Amino acid sequence: MISFVVPTRNRPERLQQTLDQLGRLTVREPCEVIIVDNASDTPARAPSALANGTVCRMIRLEHNAGAAARNVAVEASSPKTDWIVMLDDDSHPVESVEPFAATLNRLREQPDSVVAVMADIHLPRLGRRESGGLPEVFIGCGVAIRRWAFLEVGGYDASFGYYVEEYDLAARFLQRGWSVAFDPAFCVHHHKIDTGRDMDLILHRLIRNNGWVMQRYAPEAVRRQMCREQRRRYRDIAERERALAGFASGLTELRRTIRSQRREPMPDRVWDRFTGLAHAREALDRAWRERPFASAAIVEPGKNAWAVTCAMTELAGRRGTVLTTADSAEVVIIGTMSPGPMLDAAERWRQQGRRVVAPWNAALDFAPGQVLAA
């Protein structure tokens, strides 16, 4: 059995559109949608069943639990559920080259060690993919998670509210020896609306929550360095978004609370997977072995660009490859470990006729046009 989990708050029209889309999916097994109303001003409504027979249930909370509303839904889901498909009230799977039932079948073919499968998440209105996440860190609006694994680690940490809570949950999965996979045919459309967002609140949570993750899981040898990297990254974003006040208040709260975060540092090999460094090493080495290159340039740097630079520097030391400019380089290496921007950038550079190395094997294997275009 499959359970779709959809938290919502004060967006009845958008929720109805999402339910309509879920009702159009091809499903050949019992499914349920569990909607958690995060204390909407006017209680959310939903039908008892969708057009394809999927049963709907509504849970209403008396307070806004943020991402932890998903915990309530999972606990209330059927014990017969194998996989929980996490969505937002403005995101839904789409059928492209295959019915959604085929995606569900592939979930059951995953090895037992894979406890989460990321979707390829598109933003149709913006014509690009969703930002965020890492090769083994999913985005909450489009991921399938094994119910038993979610419950075993305790679900989302309610103290995070929204933002970065997926990093904390993925870290606990990796700490258990489990893994996160990517299915490019599992395509989700996220109808994200940027207007009306409180960027000060967002930056407050981004710097605070990312700092908590670094404090909890970073090996001691790199913890301070990673905390500095987070501060640099989110200060740059705060300046760009004119949200320095939110950044400052979040940094103040982080400094006040950081010592209360329980340290569970990852072994180096797990940390390298969590940050994407291990994936960058594997992908760059594979690309060189398949077709050696003498020069390379790192282009379009983004999230965890340091991991790409580190992996490329190591490769250069072993193979003698020279780092140069994009104009003269034999290959271009995408400089981000965030899957969505990585795939978008790789497609742009391939369209220019360039040889592209994406620092993630799943992206190297990705075929443009494999899924419905955004």
Mean pLDDT of the residues in the chain: 94
Summarised one tens digit per residue, pLDDT across range 115-156 is 999 999 999 999 999 999 999 999 999 999 999 999 999 999
pLDDT(194) > 90: no
Query: 370: pLDDT confidence band, cut at 50, 70 and 90?
Result: very low
Summarised one tens digit per residue, pLDDT across range 252-295 is 999 999 999 999 999 999 999 999 999 999 999 999 999 999 99
For residue 368, the model assigns a pLDDT of: 52
Burial category of 148 from C-beta neighbours within 10 Å (exposed 0-12, middle 13-18, buried 19 and up) = exposed
Tell me, yes or no, whether 33 and 12 share the same domain.
Answer: yes
Tell me, yes or no, whether 338 and 263 share the same domain.
Answer: no
Query: 374: pLDDT confidence band, cut at 50, 70 and 90?
Result: very low
Within-domain flag for 370: no
Domain holding 339, by residue range, is: 276-364
CA gap 361, 287 in Å, rounded: 9
> 3-state class of 147 per DSSP?
helix
Within-domain flag for 373: no
pLDDT(29) > 90: no
Within-domain flag for 325: yes
Tell me, yes or no, whether 23 and 163 share the same domain.
Answer: yes
* Cα distances (Å, whole numbers) of residue 153 to 45, 112, 163, 165: 31, 16, 19, 13
Within-domain flag for 371: no
Within-domain flag for 167: yes
Of the candidates 138, 155, 190, which is a domain's last residue? 190
Tell me, yes or no, whether 92 and 46 share the same domain.
Answer: yes
Q: What is the CATH number of the domain that holds 285?
A: 3.40.50.2300
Within-domain flag for 304: yes
pLDDT(12) > 90: yes
Of the candidates 190, 209, 227, which is a domain's last residue? 190
Number of domains in the chain: 3
For residue 196, the model assigns a pLDDT of: 58
Within-domain flag for 175: yes
Summarised one tens digit per residue, pLDDT across range 341-350 is 999 999 999 9
Burial category of 115 from C-beta neighbours within 10 Å (exposed 0-12, middle 13-18, buried 19 and up) = buried
Tell me, yes or no, whether 133 and 218 share the same domain.
Answer: no
For residue 364, the model assigns a pLDDT of: 86
Q: Are 358 and 343 in contact (CB under 8 A)?
A: yes
> Strands of 322-323's sheet, edge to edge?
322-323, 295-299, 331-334, 356-357
For residue 20, the model assigns a pLDDT of: 96
Tell me, yes or no, whether 126 and 51 share the same domain.
Answer: yes
Dihedral sign of CA atoms 80, 83, 88, 90 in order: negative
Tell me, yes or no, whether 85 and 133 share the same domain.
Answer: yes
For range 67-88, the mean pLDDT: 96
Tell me, yes or no, whether 177 and 60 share the same domain.
Answer: yes
Query: 367: pLDDT confidence band, cut at 50, 70 and 90?
Result: low
For range 96-124, the mean pLDDT: 93
Q: Indicate the pairing of strand 83-87 with strand 31-37.
A: unpaired
Q: Indicate the pairing of strand 322-323 with strand 179-190.
A: unpaired
Q: Are 49 and 72 in contact (CB under 8 A)?
A: no
Q: Are 133 and 338 in contact (CB under 8 A)?
A: yes
Q: Are 362 and 150 in contact (CB under 8 A)?
A: no
Tell me, yes or no, whether 86 and 114 share the same domain.
Answer: yes
Query: 195: pLDDT confidence band, cut at 50, 70 and 90?
Result: low
CA gap 230, 211 in Å, rounded: 7
Tell me, yes or no, whether 318 and 231 share the same domain.
Answer: no
Q: Indicate the pairing of strand 331-334 with strand 142-146.
A: unpaired
Q: Are 167 and 72 in contact (CB under 8 A)?
A: no
Q: Which of 106-120, 187-201, 337-351 has the lowest mean pLDDT?
A: 187-201
More confident residue, 269 or 363: 269
Tell me, yes or no, whether 129 and 249 share the same domain.
Answer: no
SS3 percent helix, strand, coil of the chain, rounded to 5, is 45, 20, 35
For residue 371, the model assigns a pLDDT of: 40
Q: What is the CATH number of the domain that holds 17?
A: 3.90.550.10
Within-domain flag for 81: yes
Of the candidates 190, 210, 231, which is a domain's last residue? 190
pLDDT(369) > 50: no
% the chain with pLDDT above 70: 97
Tell me, yes or no, whether 121 and 254 share the same domain.
Answer: no
